Amino acid sequence: MTQRELTVAQAINEALVQAMTADPSVYIMGEGVPDPKGIFGTTLGLRDKFGADRVLDMPVAENGMTGVAIGSALMGMRPVLVHQRVDFALLAMDQMVNQAAKWHYMFGGQLSVPLVVRLIIGRGWGQGPQHSQSLQSWFAHIPGLKVVMPTTPQDAKGLLLASIQDPNPVIFLEHRWLHNIKGWVSPDQDITPLGKARIARAGKDLTIVSVSYMTLEALRTADWLAAQGIEAEVVDLRTLRPLDTDTIVESVKKTGRLLVADTSWKLCGISAEIVALATEAAFSSLRCAPVRITLPDTPSPTSHAMAQFFYPRAVNLYEAACQMVNIPYHNPEPPLKSTQLDVPDKSFTGPF
């Protein structure tokens, strides 16, 4: 099979092109979808290819456009709705939580809402507390919604194709730092099944369950641990709901140690769910208490100075892992000087 190296943004764009070509009921709507930046490059060229009737620019009316998308889905269309920030979608929570998520259940399975809502998450310079949140745990809490968070370009394409084909609403969360990550992508319409985690790296001494961008930090941590003779297994969650409990539990039973790395907060977050799962299903296998690496319990900062102390990195995972496997900790990185933790790390490149 021929594969090419694409960025995550290019992989998402290709998934949209293939889905819209294969199925005329698929259309895209959202604020700025056809503008020159094309939602971080993910929707570039789509209006030229498919026309204004299938690539709809929308006003700043999040609740209204989400309602339109749900209505059209009920009439047989397959909309892909884009909110440039997850924070903007909060204005449409009633539509997503009270309407889209409930329809299949309330009508006994006779009606469904085949809607994909793409939401951009993560840090960015100057974005601050209202434009850089990672609210995946909100959506994962709601029965009736599926929640997807890809890391690799291949998964971004495969999971988006699966989401568009799904008969019920899917929340598709993209970390903005991943859009420029490169990796090998199949040119075919290969589906990545929803609800199946990926073993990003096999190991036997420690399990690191990671979400989205934090998978890259986890893989860097695993490299450092390997230099110390410790084999960490990195489980890229890929889908928060449905949750692949079997893969997580199997890995914890094998390694006896669990470290969870999330892009969001600790309290009531997905990291708490993973730890609860491990203690319920693999308690006798645990050799030490599970550890969570998440954001500190404050709103996201705006300034570089505060961001330096806010966002967790591989070195934080590594320090925790060293304590869990009882090896000496030595900072594997030189002290941070000018590096800004709200600017993407250029060292993360594919394929991986």
The residue annotated as part of the active site, out of 62, 217, 233, 273, is 62
Long-range contacts of the stretch 45-51 (C-beta < 8 A, 24+): 45/13, 46/13, 46/16, 46/17, 46/20, 49/17, 49/20, 50/20
| Pairwise CA distance, residues 175 & 252, whole Å | 26
Instruction: Report residue 154 as tokens.
Output: 């291949």
| Pairwise CA distance, residues 287 & 8, whole Å | 37
Residue 133's identity, in one-letter code, is Q
Give the helix/strand (H/E) hosting 80.
strand 78-83
| Pairwise CA distance, residues 310 & 294, whole Å | 9
Catalytic site includes residue 62: yes
Length reported for the chain: 352
Paired residues of 170 in beta bridges: 116, 146
| Pairwise CA distance, residues 261 & 30, whole Å | 31
The residue annotated as part of the active site, out of 31, 83, 131, 333, is 131
Burial of residue 297 (number of CB atoms within 10 Å: 0-12, 13-18, 19+): exposed
Q: In the chain, what are the helix, strand and coil shares in percent, each to the nearest 5?
A: 35, 20, 45
How many CB atoms are located within 10 Å of the residue 37 CB? 11
Upstream peptide bond of 242 is cis (omega within 30 degrees of 0) = yes
| Pairwise CA distance, residues 71 & 80, whole Å | 13
344 closest CA partner among 178, 220, 182, 155: 178
Catalytic site includes residue 5: no
Catalytic residues: 62, 131
